[in-house]
Structure 1
Amino acid sequence: MSMNVLKKIFLSVLCTVAVSVAAWGEELVSAVLPIADPYVLFYEDTYYAYGTSRADGFEVYSSKDLKSWKRSSRLALSKEDSYGDKWFWAPEVYYVAKEKKFYMYYSVEEHVCVATSDSPFGPFVQDEKKPIREEKGIDTSVFFDEDGKAYLYFVRFTNGNVIWCAELKDNLKEIKEETLTQCIEAAEPWELVFGKVAEGPSVVKQDGLYYMFYSANDFRSQDYAVGYATSDSPFGPWKKSRKNPLLHKVEELVGTGHGAPFLDRTGRYRYVFHAHKSRTEVNQRNSYIIDMSLTGEDRVSIGGGLIRPEVVK
């Protein structure tokens, strides 16, 4: 085949790609979704993704299909609207219908905080620029129970990284200190490969049973992984599954963890998580989405249908 023919074929392919991109009105910005400690909110037929990525606040991405994501031109939360000015980690956002507001729980300077907004895009603002607790803590997550009570799960540095729970007051910005209860501590062999770390909690409830998903090992470890435990109460005691770890090294991905379950528009569970940049580099960690099945205490699985999100504009 002559060089001229090859050139014509190459130009034809380029034109086809250009027309396709123009037709969809989207241009590829990044082949990865560059956030760690990810969380996905589904609200009014749109998905919103939040995560750890910047030193001065949190970005927000939106998507209709979980594959193509668009980054908002403004931060969802900036340090000017928050307590603290560094180490912005692990945001999670919930829509509270009775307040008609969005609540973002996150940590900054190793203190747990909450900010609110009228939009999932933000800006999220703290009414009072102070943490929920004076004691250090990270990795906040909230579970809203059927009786209207809400529970804050977060990590305290009590013996390594340990997951604790407390009931939130009605204002959703303070906890009832007398309810503070330890939930999950790293103790199993798979949890102790690198450090004494249990973190990144998320709780869901099905058929009266509470499921907590959490990550173990230092996030820098290639053996960072996800396990789960069950309980009849939001406070525990929590029974760790014999199937753990539930998510550990997917395809070529390592350092897989600190994710969160969510329901897609069909009502099916998915799990969003981050992984190392590569097998030789930890950061920038990137996020992925995978299928999740929750059909009983011993019938929980994460796997299959891996989505590799990309950023478009």
Structure 2
Amino acid sequence: MIQRNFILIVLGLFLKVTAWGQELHSAGDGLREFRYTNPITRDSTISMRDHFIIKVDSLWYCVGTSNPVWEGFNPGVRMLVSKDLVSWKQHSWLIDASKLPDDCPYKGRFWAPEIHFIQNKYWLTINSGRVTKEDPKGMDTHRVWLFSSDKVTGPFVLVNKKPLTSQYHNDATLFEDEDGQTYFYCSGNGMWQARIDLPSGKLTTTVEKFLDKRQPGWPEWMQGGIEGPFVIKREGMYFMFFSTWTRGYEVALLKSKGPLGPWELVSQEPIFGTRKNGYRPELARAGGYDHLQFTDTQDPYQETGHNAMFIGPDGNLWSSCHYFMYEKRPYPYSQTFEDWEKTPQMGYEPVYYENGRFHIKGPTWTEQVIRYLPLSK
């Protein structure tokens, strides 16, 4: 029987983990070890996309996009919880769609929720519209909605009866600067930004589009679509992670001297992700970017994207996103798909900051060992 014991020192707490035959323990030289293997979750019943993780006290919580994703209703905003970052279980439904009235304007497909702790409150952004017979995907009314709570587990209350924007927007995220000003970023046939007043649930500047997927002079690997922004500040510079699904699912990185740009690419290639020529070829043909030439990455995934940052077991930044197995995977896996492999699962990797920019290792699929000095009491 796999045993799970806890010893990890994080902010004075001790936690020892054993799961999937992996253990967090002393390395004998004062260092600690965290062992993990992606995908972390392997359970179709808690399958999600766009995993967003937040650490509160000694627990990690995760929200994301539940199935079904592409049409009709989905069940709402699911929350998972973990004590060790290896074993995850269902905690609750922060928003249960079955309990919403039929005329609720956001009763549809709840995409890419995020939870940010700002101004001593938890702010939940959801992206959803009303699903109807005439609009079975809810795209005509797909907007960003803001909720707040005193606890990460809710209950969350709608801040404003109106959505944050009056047109199609998706993948909303929030960022609080050192001066207390808060910013709103989202996708929607490109990338958008504005300032936001959280207590009123209103944008205080016009939401502006600052990057298009076919931006003149920018790389062709953006042409399929860009989405999933996440902003962080380091050494006075603003960095925005974002994803593109042109060649699979990849994460790229922008930087700026200000929270509202101008933004520029840190590198001409994505910094993380998977690329597969056989991934959604019908979309490539329809979008006119099927001419792009590239080599498949040697990993077993067709998607590793829409990432976000969280505090990991070592107290440092980690990146989370969904890892979706590839049916024609090149690595010597079993060619018989298990049920969980047919659905997106949670995965994560440590984030490194070197030479004035961020790096993400991977995506990995074999056991990884992270060694680090535990935090002092």
Is 1:176 the counterpart of 2:204 in the alignment? yes
1:71 to 90, 108, 132: 90
More displaced stretch, 244-253 vs 104-113: 244-253
2:158 aligned counterpart, secondary structure: coil
1:104-157 Cα deviation digits (max 9, x unpaired): 01101121001122322223231444311221211000011000000000113x
The equivalent of 1:101 in structure 2 is 121
Which whole-Å CA distance do the structure 1 matches of 2:213 and 2:107 have between them? 30
**Aligned partners of 1:269 and 1:294 also within 8 Å:** no
The equivalent of 2:348 in structure 1 is 289
**Aligned partners of 1:246 and 1:301 also within 8 Å:** yes
Which letter maps to 1:122? Answer: G
1:190 aligned counterpart, secondary structure: helix
Change (3 A) 1:263 1:307: farther
More displaced stretch, 257-266 vs 78-87: 78-87
* CA shift for structure 1 position 230: 0.4
Change (3 A) 1:62 1:22: closer
Which letter maps to 2:320? Answer: V
Is 1:300 the counterpart of 2:328 in the alignment? no
The equivalent of 2:42 in structure 1 is 31
Flag structure 1 segments of 5+ consecutive residues without an equivalent: 1-16, 309-313
Which whole-Å CA distance do the structure 1 matches of 2:350 and 2:5 have between them? 30
RMSD: 3.0
Which whole-Å CA distance do the structure 2 matches of 1:296 and 1:173 have between them? 38
Which whole-Å CA distance do the structure 2 matches of 1:234 and 1:214 have between them? 15
1:59 aligned counterpart, secondary structure: strand
1:75 aligned counterpart, secondary structure: strand
**Aligned partners of 1:291 and 1:305 also within 8 Å:** no
**1:109-188, aligned counterparts within 5 Å?**
109=129, 110-156=142-188, 161-171=189-199, 173-178=201-206, 180-187=207-214, 188=219
Change (3 A) 1:274 1:172: farther
Which whole-Å CA distance do the structure 2 matches of 1:23 and 1:305 have between them? 27
More displaced stretch, 131-140 vs 248-257: 248-257
Which whole-Å CA distance do the structure 1 matches of 2:210 and 2:315 have between them? 28
Which whole-Å CA distance do the structure 1 matches of 2:84 and 2:152 have between them? 17
2:57 to 41, 44, 53: 44
Is 1:254 the counterpart of 2:302 in the alignment? yes
**Aligned partners of 1:83 and 1:130 also within 8 Å:** no
The count of residues paired between Structure 1 and Structure 2 equals 276
The equivalent of 1:271 in structure 2 is 319
Which letter maps to 2:220? Answer: P
1:84 aligned counterpart, secondary structure: coil
Which letter maps to 1:189? Answer: E
* CA shift for structure 1 position 23: 8.6
> Given the two structures, how large is their TM-score scaled by the length of structure 1?
0.78
Which letter maps to 1:61? Answer: L
* CA shift for structure 1 position 181: 3.0
Is 1:217 the counterpart of 2:245 in the alignment? yes
**Aligned partners of 1:90 and 1:106 also within 8 Å:** yes
* CA shift for structure 1 position 170: 4.9
2:326 aligned counterpart, secondary structure: coil
* CA shift for structure 1 position 183: 2.9
1:256 aligned counterpart, secondary structure: strand
Change (3 A) 1:262 1:151: same
Which whole-Å CA distance do the structure 2 matches of 1:45 and 1:175 have between them? 33
> Given the two structures, how large is their TM-score scaled by the length of structure 2?
0.66
Change (3 A) 1:307 1:57: farther
**Aligned partners of 2:253 and 2:267 also within 8 Å:** no
1:47-87 Cα deviation digits (max 9, x unpaired): 11100004131111111221111211x30122346742111
* CA shift for structure 1 position 304: 4.7
Flag structure 2 segments of 5+ consecutive residues without an equivalent: 7-17, 21-40, 68-73, 130-141, 275-296, 329-336, 367-377
